């Protein structure tokens, strides 16, 4: 089994090495990842300049760094490897829950895989000021990969693994609250500038990704690329059927 691994934290992140080590139990691993951090780049692609694909072995793994986004890395990686059976993205230093799935480069790499016909799984872990303990996280990562690597039912999965996870929960995306906020500040010359920040939220609704991780479980959310609002479409079709 060929497993392509990417991320948005950059090829030198400890998270991507931890994921490669866990994935190597399941197949042949190749790493293709951005040469610098590309967090919060979403599904951006680079279309106005050429991309470079440079060999950068990471410990025992065949690895390449790309001067582009996570989506670029997956597209280029799949093309130059002649395809893969699975794309894994992460392990991101920071959870990707709720509405952050819109901005996440980690998840975008998995989405890009699905767009190109390959299963995609994004993996993230909550992160504060302390470096994540990937050695302690490793058993939970292996448990999740054991469960998901050979499953064909879902094409796109968003996985969030807390340290010392107490089990796995299948969840839905939490969309009730948006946690992005603009905070004004001043630069050293007194000019106003702005920070886009993520603020803490109240407790999440049961059954959601945020709820699972807040309760110490690993969250697995199946996602889809089709964003069509089916109920809005069907009522609009009824309303405008005379125009069809
Ligand atoms: Mn990141």
Question: Which domains occur in the chain, in start order?
Answer: 2-175+203-243 (3.40.1210.10)
Express as a percent the part of the chain with pLDDT over 90. 86
Q: Does pLDDT of 71 surpass 90?
A: yes
- Ligand 1 centre and the CA of 36: distance in Å? 11
- Ligand 1 centre and the CA of 95: distance in Å? 9
pLDDT value of residue 196: 87
pLDDT value of residue 242: 65
- Ligand 1 centre and the CA of 234: distance in Å? 37
- Ligand 1 centre and the CA of 73: distance in Å? 14
What is the spatial distance between Cα 237 and Cα 244, in angstroms, rounded to a whole number? 8
For the ranges 38-42, 51-55, 103-107, 240-244, the lowest mean pLDDT is seen at: 240-244
- Ligand 1 centre and the CA of 236: distance in Å? 38
- Ligand 1 centre and the CA of 40: distance in Å? 7
Confidence bin at 130 (pLDDT 50/70/90) = confident
Mean pLDDT across 39-54 = 96
Q: Is the peptide bond before 207 cis (omega within 30 degrees of 0)?
A: no
The residues placing their C-beta within 5 Å of ligand 1, an ion, are: 8-9, 39, 92
Confidence bin at 131 (pLDDT 50/70/90) = confident
- Ligand 1 centre and the CA of 10: distance in Å? 8
Confidence bin at 51 (pLDDT 50/70/90) = very high
> 215: closest CA among 223, 202, 203, 198?
203
pLDDT value of residue 180: 81
- Ligand 1 centre and the CA of 106: distance in Å? 6
pLDDT value of residue 176: 76
Mean pLDDT computed over every residue of the chain: 94
- Residue 144: exposure state from Cβ atoms within 10 A (0-12, 13-18, ≥19): buried
Q: Does pLDDT of 244 surpass 70?
A: no
Q: Is 194:183 a contact under the CB 8 Å cutoff?
A: yes
Mean pLDDT across 233-241 = 91
Mean pLDDT across 6-29 = 97
Mean pLDDT across 38-65 = 96
- Ligand 1 centre and the CA of 207: distance in Å? 25
Mean pLDDT across 53-60 = 96
Express as a percent the part of the chain with pLDDT over 70. 98
Mean pLDDT across 157-167 = 96
């Amino acid at each position: 089994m060929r497993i392509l691994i990417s991320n948005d934290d950059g090829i030198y992140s400890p998270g991507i090495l931890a994921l490669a080590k866990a994935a190597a139990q399941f197949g042949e691993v190749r790493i293709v990842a951005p040469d610098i951090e590309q967090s919060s780049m979403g599904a951006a692609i680079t279309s106005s300049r050429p991309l470079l694909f440079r060999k950068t072995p990471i410990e025992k793994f065949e690895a390449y760094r790309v001067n582009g986004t996570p989506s670029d890395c997956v597209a280029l990686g799949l093309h130059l490897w002649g395809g893969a059976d699975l794309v894994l993205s992460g392990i991101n230093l920071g959870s990707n829950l709720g509405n952050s799935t819109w901005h996440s480069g980690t998840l975008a790499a998995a989405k890009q895989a699905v767009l190109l016909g390959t299963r995609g799984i994004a993996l993230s872990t909550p992160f504060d000021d302390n470096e994540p303990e990937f050695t302690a996280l490793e058993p939970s990562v292996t448990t999740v990969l054991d469960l998901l690597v050979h499953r064909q039912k879902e094409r796109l999965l968003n996985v969030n693994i807390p340290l010392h996870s107490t089990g796995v929960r299948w969840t839905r995306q939490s969309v009730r609250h948006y946690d992005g906020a603009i905070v004004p500040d001043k630069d050293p010359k007194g000019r106003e500038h702005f920070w886009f920040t993520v603020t803490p939220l109240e407790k999440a609704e049961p059954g959601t990704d945020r709820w699972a991780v807040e309760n110490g479980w690993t969250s697995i959310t199946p996602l889809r690329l089709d964003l069509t609002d089916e109920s809005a479409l069907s009522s609009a079709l009824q309303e405008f059927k005379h125009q069809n």
